[in-house]
Amino acid sequence: MKRICLVCQNVDCKIRGSEAIMKELQQGVTDRGLSDVEVRPYMCFGACQEGPNVVLYPEKSWYASVKKEDLNDILGHLAGGPDVKRLDTIDGSLKELIYQLLDTGVF
Amino acid sequence: MPGILFPRGVVEGRESLEVYRARGGYEALDKTLKQLSSDQVMQIVAESGLRGRGGAGFPTGKKWAFTAEAPETPHYVVLNGGEDEPGSMKDRLLMESLPHLVLEGIVLAAYAVKASKAYLYINAAYKDAIQSMLDALAEAKQAGYCGERILGSDFSLEVLLTPAPHEYVAGEDTAALEVIEDKKPLPRQKPPFPATSGLFGKPTAVNNVETLANVPPIIAKGAKWYRSFGTAESPGTMIFSLNDEVKKPGVYELAFGTPLRYLIEKCGGGTREGKKIKAILPGGPSSAFLRAEQIDVALDHNSVRAAGSSIGCGVVGIVVERSCIVEEVLRIAEFFAAESCGQCPACRMETNMLAMMLKKVQQGQGGQPILDQFSKVIAFNKGKGFCNLVNMPGPPIESALKLFRSDFDFHLANGRCP
């Protein structure tokens, strides 16, 4: 199964630069030869105030308020490195809701 | 059936000032300016039990009292003729056919809430309605029913037009105020409510067209007479809209409490091609589905609520047998996703998410677990928006899942309609 890196592209995240973040992640995945990872846009995770939001699935890692300088660490995680604990700030109940949706294939 | 607004049944064609006067038009205004104080007008409207016809059903007398008693001045009245509810045609018909009745209602409302300026906020797509109201305004000014020192009294009212953008949220009362203030139609956070802090931050009575059209007959004939129509909790009549699902689509004015069956079968002539009914949406796309067996429910606020739904602004939708409820709710969810103005994150997320989830179900993806997620997404976002749009997809989707689960199961198993 392909691993998916979802990058929110709703208005708030976009205003905060999520389009550029998605492009850099796509480029980074290619550069690192992570052929099992697909970087995809996501409609909204419901955490707009804390965007840009990036969710890795099936890892179920949620990275909030992501900046360009964080991307190296996120790509590192995708390449098998440690998760990026400082970006893991989202409330548990929202995570559960979104992870359940992802489990049902809503992406 | 004789109604209150259309005493000889719903007729199309514009009623002239002469014809309106010949049937007692502007007598309520004349009586008011000669005999009644603002408080007395409000008292009569409160006693009549008139409830707003825009969807919420809030008591008009109570709403007006907030505005009338607000110390800040000036006060305003806004005629909300945005009418963007899919399938609703009643406000357009009233403005096109009975413009003087609507205008007299505006003048009486302004007198009651002590306003000196009123705005006609009318859907820009309703060219004929706008023209009809502007013509009525000119005629009324000429005849002394509007403008400076109305009918020789101390009361003056200036009436101005603001065309309303033809989009769903533009009909929300605070979005209407934004447009009149020359801004984008984005709902405001409430409270404060428009009644105390509305147009330009001043006390404003924003009322639906049909609501205001009820005021002249109430003042002319009294609260007791008005209460002889309808039920104790929902006095008077309501104009219901029937669309293409029936043989005779159109608008029908019925006393509150009339059985839904009467509207569909007697007024609408039953379903097109006589198909059996599968489900009914008694109050537009944001109301919960009723089962076909509930067709004898009385059309009033309490009875429809007790049946599990809401009466909204009277747009009755019918789903006939062999139609698929999944397709119906997907259409509704996509409508709300498209019409969400986007300023509240929760609404944007919820409306898009629900539409996407239903699309998955339609295509047979997600399995049974996806069906359990709908209520969670709806609960998570409940009330988290400036306006009510965030709450609107909930009732149709949750009722559809409860009443027509087999349609969802079939889609999940087969990826197509049953």
Spell out which chain A residues touch chain B, with contact meaning CB-CB distance below 8 angstroms. 10-12, 43-46, 48-49, 93-94, 97, 100-101, 103-106
A94 chain-B contacts, CB cut-off 8 A: 380
Structural domains for chain B: 17-226 (3.40.50.11540), 237-320 (3.10.20.600), 325-414 (1.20.1440.230)
How far is it, in rounded angstroms, from Cα A51 to Cα A65? 5
Give the pLDDT confidence score for residue A10 in this predicted structure. Answer: 85
Minimal CA separation from A97 to chain B, in Å:
7
Question: Does B108 score more than 90 pLDDT?
Answer: yes
How far apart CA B32 and CA B104 sit, in angstroms, is 11
Nearest to B93, CA basis, from B304, B251, B213: B251
Q: What percent of chain B clears pLDDT 90, i.e. is strictly above it? A: 91
pLDDT-derived band of residue B69, with 50, 70 and 90 as boundaries?
very high
Q: What's at A2, amino acid-wise?
A: K
What is the rounded average pLDDT of the residues B169-183? 95
pLDDT value at residue B203: 97
Q: Residue A99: list chain B partners with CB under 8 A.
A: none
Using the Cβ of B243 and the Cβ atoms of chain A, whether some distance falls under 8 Å is answered with no
Calculate mean pLDDT across residues B147-171: 95
Q: Which of B1-5, B125-129, B323-327 has the lowest mean pLDDT?
A: B1-5
CB atoms near residue A67 (< 10 Å)? 11
Write out the residue range of the structural domain in which residue A89 sits. 3-103
Distance from the A107 Cα atom to the nearest Cα atom in chain B, whole angstroms: 8
The DSSP code sequence of chain A is --EEEEEE-SHHHHHTTHHHHHHHHHHHHHHTT-TTEEEEEES--S-GGG-S-EEEETTTEEE-S--GGGHHHHHHHHTT----GGG----HHHHHHHHHHHHTT--
Q: What is the pLDDT of residues A47-67, one digit of tens each?
A: 888 999 999 999 999 999 999
Residue-level pLDDT at B7: 85
> What letter represents residue B301's amino acid?
H
State the best of B343, B344, B354, B370 to mutate against chain A, taking most chain A CBs within 10 Å. B370
B231 — pLDDT class (breaks 50, 70, 90): very high
On the question of pLDDT at B11 being above 90, the answer is: no
pLDDT of residue B232: 96
> Per the CB < 8 Å rule, is B377 touching A106?
no
Confidence class of residue B323 from pLDDT cuts 50, 70 and 90?
A: very high
Instruction: Kindly indicate the confidence band of residue B10, based on its pLDDT and cuts at 50, 70 and 90.
Output: confident
Q: Give contacts of B 371-390 with A, CB under 8 A.
A: 373, 376-377, 380-381
User: How far is Cα B365 from Cα B131, in angstroms, rounded to an integer?
Assistant: 51
Whether B212 and B133 have beta carbons less than 8 Å apart is answered as: no
Q: What is the pLDDT of residue B2?
A: 72
Q: Is B364 in the A-facing interface, judged by CB distances under 8 Å?
A: no
Q: How confident is the model at residue B343 (pLDDT cuts 50, 70, 90)?
A: confident
For testing contact with chain A, the best of B380, B382, B411 (most A CBs within 10 A): B380
- Cβ–Cβ < 8 Å for B216, B108: yes
Q: Per the structure block, which two tokens stand in for B90?
A: 């009643």
- pLDDT at position B384 is 86
User: Which one has a higher pLDDT value, B12 or B97?
Assistant: B97
Work out the pLDDT band at A76, boundaries 50, 70, 90. very high
- B130 exposure class (CB count in 10 Å sphere: 0-12, 13-18, 19+): buried
Q: Which of A44, A48, A104 is opposite residue B367, by nearest beta carbon?
A: A104
* Cα B382 from Cα B376, distance rounded (Å): 10
d(CA A21, CA A1): 24
- Total-model pTM: 0.90
Q: Are B87 and B243 in contact (CB under 8 A)?
A: yes
pLDDT tier for residue B385 given thresholds of 50, 70 and 90: confident
Which pLDDT score, from 0 to 100, does residue A1 have? 72
Higher local confidence (pLDDT), B26 or A46: B26
**Residue B43: pLDDT over 90:** yes
B376: chain A residues, CB-CB within 8 Å: 97, 100
Q: What angle do CA B176, B182, B188 make, to 5 degrees?
A: 45
Residue B13: the pLDDT is: 87
What pLDDT shows up at residue B33?
A: 97
Q: Cβ(B263)–Cβ(B240) under 8 Å?
A: yes
**B340-372 burial, b if ≥16 CB within 10 A, otherwise e?**
bbebbbbbbbbbbbbbbbbbbbbeebbeeebbe
The stretch B214-239 carries a mean pLDDT of 97
State the nearest Cα–Cα gap between A65 and chain B, in angstroms.
Answer: 15
B77-98 pLDDT, tens digit each: 999 999 988 889 999 999 999 9
Residue B387: name the closest of B342, B321, B323 by CA: B342
Residue A89 CA to residue B246 CA, distance in Å, equals 54
d(CA B242, CA B224): 30
Contact status, residue A106 vs residue A59, Cβ threshold 8 Å: no
Contact B374, B398 (CB under 8 A): yes
Q: Which residues of B touch A97 (CB under 8 A)?
A: 373, 376-377, 380
Please spell the DSSP secondary structure of B173-188, one letter per residue: HHHHHHHHTTS---PP
Rounded Cα gap, residues B256 and B86, in angstroms = 22
CATH number at residue A73: 3.40.30.10
Q: Tell me the β-bridge partners of B242.
A: B250, B316
Partner-chain contact A104 B373, CB within 8 Å: yes
Mean pLDDT, chain B, whole residue set? 95
What pLDDT shows up at residue B8?
A: 79
Residue B212 in tokens: 């205001």
The answer, yes or no, to whether residue B55 has pLDDT greater than 90, is no
Q: Is B345's CB within 8 Å of A97's CB?
A: no
Query: What is the predicted pLDDT for the residue at B1?
Result: 58
Is the separation of the CB atoms in B256 and B235 below 8 Å? yes
**Count of domains for chain A:** 1
